[in-house]
Structure 1
Amino acid sequence: MKTRFYFIVILCSMFLGCKKYLDAKPDKKLAIPATIADLWALLDNYTKMNMSSPRAGEEYADTYYLTATGFKAISNINTRNNYIWNDKGELFSDWVNAYSAIFYANVVLDEIDAVAKNEPDDMHQFDAVRGSALFFRTFMFYELAQIFAPQYAENTLSAPCIPLRLNPDPAIPSVRATVSECYSQMINDLRTAARLLPENSETKNRPSKAAAFGLLGRIYLNMGDYKNAALYADSCLRIYSKLMDYNSLSPTAAVPIPKFNEEVIFASRSFSESSLLYTSRCRIDTVLYRSYAENDLRKDIFFKANTDGSFTVKASYDGSYGGAYFNDLATDEQYLILAECYARLNNIPAAVQYLNLMLEKRFLKGKYQAIQASTSQQALDIVLSERRKELVFRGVRWSDIRRLNKEDRYRIYPVRKLDNELFELKQDDNRYISLIPLKIIEITGLPQNER
């Protein structure tokens, strides 16, 4: 019998560098899985599998700003450095939490065939388990690539991406795959997962065929493959397409959007709260706030006024307070993917149609005036503006900044101002790719990102 779960202790000690993990005994819950229920128990660990996404992207993004006073009140030096894109900001927890979830998925994939021999009559369930593990692993690979790897582009295909850990054995050395290899692995695994998963899941924490299609849509959009992005976003919405009517929400409620709301296809959030994003501290970018039209319900649903005349976010999309953010897969994002792709593919009627389907649910009833566009460029301008207004603190803005910076018309140069000091990220700045944590470099010998 494999001693796979002794490796959990070894892995923890490698990543965390803490003696208590060397001395610890394996948790009884981590006994080698013998049944399909054991495999599901690993994947249904919500804290591990659905709350392990890196938070650095939202910390880096231009959705918010801090006052100098708010910035100085942050005691954690790493957090302060992240706000101003200082390389001294360590992202150790972002790395370790994501790879921990990947490890769990790999354990399931490594043990599933042995377990299946003992329960041959439950193959549909085993398909769902295998598909779920592939989905979870890919979800984390993609999240890590947005922080620690270059933006996907023709000139970065051979550049170092992230380690593709495909086996739970920690004795296998970590090697950085290329950008091309990483995205090929993600696409192939998601296509396999889509074939294995049920159309809809029993609960929002479990992956589904709709979720696999939705993630494929997100990834292909990031790659600039608009035909495939549209194909998979459409496939997702053919399975599940519900939209909330914001007229049914209470703008005066402390938490207007409920957790696991009807738009959510797959639930996921950052591994912990960020003190940068506390509602008491972060201020919404003024240009963003002013971009919401009259009768747009999102302004009062998403934000609340501060006493100094600025605005902050009310609560996250999963109905929680604090500085965690929700990087779920939801239907509104899929409508926006379709609208953007059709605009880029010069199908103006389809672009406008999908955008209007979503926006009609965001405006005061009877007050929405349908969007019209006479050119594909005009349609794309509108879609990208609405994408920013809709997906606030949803874990995609940093990826959008990176991909749109490849286009002259849409380049975004984030700026921070503290007192009289400016901090900027200009075009092709190496800091769009974060440094791998030094402790990981020391342990694994991985090549560091350039500076």
Structure 2
Amino acid sequence: MRKYYIILAAIIGITIGCGKEFLDIKRDANQVVPSNIKDYMTILNRDIMLYTSSDLHFLSTDEYFIKNEADLIAASRFSPYHRNVYTWADRVYHDDERDIRDWHEAYERIMYANLALDVEKISPSDSEVNQWNQIRIAARFHRAWNFYHLAQSFCEVYDPVTAANKLGLPLRLDYDVSIEYTRGSLKEVYDQILKDLIDAENIPVTSQENIYLPGISAVQALLARVYLQMGAYPEALAYSEKVLQRKDSLLNYNSLTGNVSSIYSSLFEPYGKNNPSIILYTSRQVGGIMIPNRIIADTILYKSLRDDDLRKRVYYFSRPDGTRVYVGSYCGMGGLEYFTGLSVEEVLLTRAECFTRLNRYDEAVADLNKLKRNRYINFISENPQSANLLEIILAEREKELYMRGRRWEDVRRLNHEGVYVTSFRRKVGDESFILEKGSAKWKWPIPENEITNNQLQQNDR
């Protein structure tokens, strides 16, 4: 990883500098530091900061399947490990596969976030204070966001009883490439994520938020997600409520007109424009076996949608052969790119789940009905029995957050809890594959070059 960071440090000087004396190069040539607040904001405005390390989340779930073995082989020609992820193979990466994006790009973004935090060495003028604070918030968010996604892929599910004894991640908190890191514990990873986010939440800022730069609403929405993943339901509820006090608008799907005409068309505007539901816009274009002309949407989930559920029309395109592909991403590019960001509907569903788990059933039903009014034709409020309410909310969560990279995380935490257990199944040719609860394969191996170069302990498989 050290060599990788040296290269990235050089890239900063080349790509951000772009023809001017942008960087003050320190005596250690591996470290470069921008010179003013505008320069630090430029680092955080790089396109890569709005991508999510979630290829493994998408590739491995039961939200889609490949029609036949020939398509799987052809589609994975340039990304051989995709096929192994698809079948949860014992050995995932080939010997010559070193660029595993979920790992390398996450640490690249963490490095940029660490570099951006050097803005705190600058004393801003009165006119610069707000932007200075925006950078401090966004940098901490990006670091927490990427550590969180790494933990969902490469670590076990968080359990407060065992977290101190489970393997975590290399916690790179400095862009100095000479510092060596070990994996540490899972507890240390979550402690750092929470520290970054809580520190960010307490930074004062007055400017209006935008969906392309994480602000306080994004920080609080991520805190709600992290606490939900940890099983800390009172805390997840508290942060969900904070978010929804600031922003609670949903995009009403009844207002969407027209029909999806191809696998690359959408009823949503590109890049999340004019979408009141988006808190933070991030995306992922997985490619490989997940190109839209090869994948088929999960038929069981589609059949569970009622005829008056607008998501049938908004989320799916039907091919002539009767199969369907997901085109409902807020990225507005059909099946080409997936929205992976933070949204009001996710926070609303988190709050509804927490209300239910804390026996506040009427409030949970109110949240569920609010979402459904914006997703169904002529929806009439429902009042489901409390005994079935959690199951109903979790089913609604699966429908609503389909193909957003959330399914992997949700099934992991629910399987760990042990009440709503799901196994993933695939069939390729005549061979069947299954990923069962309790399998070590619910976490992915770290890329082999990282193990070799940095003496990291590998995950069991």
Would the TM-score normalized by the shorter structure come out above 0.5? yes
Find the partner of 1:256 among 256, 267, 273.
267
* Structural mapping, 1:179-194, within 5 Å: 179-194=186-201
- AA partner of residue 98 (structure 1): A
| 1:4 paired residue number | none
| 1:18 paired residue number | none
| 1:78 paired residue number | 81
Does the CA contact (< 8 Å) of 2:314 and 2:328 recur in 1?
A: no
Does the CA contact (< 8 Å) of 2:120 and 2:136 recur in 1?
A: no
2: distance between equivalents of 1:426 and 1:54? 21
Does the CA contact (< 8 Å) of 1:53 and 1:268 recur in 2?
A: no
| 1:33 paired residue number | 34
| 1:166 paired residue number | 173
Does the CA contact (< 8 Å) of 2:114 and 2:173 recur in 1?
A: yes
Q: CA 1:24–1:238 in structure 2 vs 1: closer, same or farther (change >3 Å)? A: closer
| More off after superposition, 153-162 vs 327-336 | 153-162
Does the CA contact (< 8 Å) of 1:255 and 1:314 recur in 2?
A: yes
Q: Does 1:93 align with 2:101?
A: yes
- AA partner of residue 49 (structure 2): M
Q: Does 1:226 align with 2:233?
A: yes
Q: Does 1:126 align with 2:129?
A: no
Does the CA contact (< 8 Å) of 1:230 and 1:341 recur in 2?
A: yes
- AA partner of residue 281 (structure 2): A
* Structural mapping, 1:287-302, within 5 Å: 287-302=300-315
- AA partner of residue 374 (structure 2): K
Does the CA contact (< 8 Å) of 1:273 and 1:322 recur in 2?
A: no
Does the CA contact (< 8 Å) of 1:318 and 1:326 recur in 2?
A: yes
Aligned residue pairs total 432
SS of the residue corresponding to residue 202 of structure 2 reads: helix
Find the partner of 1:418 among 425, 428, 431.
428
Does the CA contact (< 8 Å) of 1:62 and 1:285 recur in 2?
A: yes
- AA partner of residue 57 (structure 2): G
1:351-398 per-residue CA deviation (whole Å, 9 max, x = no partner) reads: 10011111100011x2x13232222x3110110000000001111110
1: distance between equivalents of 2:328 and 2:302? 16
Does the CA contact (< 8 Å) of 1:132 and 1:197 recur in 2?
A: no
Does the CA contact (< 8 Å) of 2:325 and 2:335 recur in 1?
A: no
| 1:67 paired residue number | 67
TM-superposed CA distance for 1:120, in Å, is 6.0
Q: Does 1:450 align with 2:454?
A: no
Does the CA contact (< 8 Å) of 1:54 and 1:98 recur in 2?
A: no
Does the CA contact (< 8 Å) of 1:43 and 1:49 recur in 2?
A: yes
| 2:396 paired residue number | 386
| 1:238 paired residue number | 245
Q: Does 1:267 align with 2:284?
A: no
| 1:371 paired residue number | 382
2: distance between equivalents of 1:129 and 1:290? 45
1:309-342 per-residue CA deviation (whole Å, 9 max, x = no partner) reads: 2211125221124443221000000110011111
Q: CA 1:200–1:405 in structure 2 vs 1: closer, same or farther (change >3 Å)? A: farther
2: distance between equivalents of 1:113 and 1:198? 15
CA RMSD of aligned residues (A): 2.2
| More off after superposition, 157-166 vs 189-198 | 189-198
- AA partner of residue 5 (structure 2): L
Q: Does 1:282 align with 2:304?
A: no
2: distance between equivalents of 1:427 and 1:199? 46
1: distance between equivalents of 2:193 and 2:206? 20
Does the CA contact (< 8 Å) of 2:331 and 2:337 recur in 1?
A: no
Does the CA contact (< 8 Å) of 2:326 and 2:334 recur in 1?
A: no
1: distance between equivalents of 2:237 and 2:445? 33
Does the CA contact (< 8 Å) of 1:250 and 1:301 recur in 2?
A: no
- AA partner of residue 351 (structure 1): A
SS of the residue corresponding to residue 221 of structure 2 reads: helix
TM-superposed CA distance for 1:193, in Å, is 0.8
SS of the residue corresponding to residue 431 of structure 1 reads: helix
TM-superposed CA distance for 1:88, in Å, is 3.2
Does the CA contact (< 8 Å) of 1:279 and 1:315 recur in 2?
A: no
Does the CA contact (< 8 Å) of 1:275 and 1:323 recur in 2?
A: no
SS of the residue corresponding to residue 170 of structure 1 reads: coil
Does the CA contact (< 8 Å) of 2:250 and 2:374 recur in 1?
A: yes
| 2:322 paired residue number | 309
* Structural mapping, 1:134-173, within 5 Å: 134-157=140-163, 158-173=165-180
Find the partner of 1:396 among 406, 421, 427.
406
Does the CA contact (< 8 Å) of 2:113 and 2:143 recur in 1?
A: yes
SS of the residue corresponding to residue 432 of structure 2 reads: strand
1: distance between equivalents of 2:301 and 2:189? 33
| 2:96 paired residue number | none
2: distance between equivalents of 1:182 and 1:378? 35
TM-superposed CA distance for 1:209, in Å, is 0.9
TM-superposed CA distance for 1:257, in Å, is 2.0
| 1:51 paired residue number | 51
Q: CA 1:225–1:390 in structure 2 vs 1: closer, same or farther (change >3 Å)? A: same
2: distance between equivalents of 1:24 and 1:251? 44
1: distance between equivalents of 2:12 and 2:181? 24
Q: CA 1:37–1:191 in structure 2 vs 1: closer, same or farther (change >3 Å)? A: same
- AA partner of residue 81 (structure 1): N
2: distance between equivalents of 1:305 and 1:406? 35
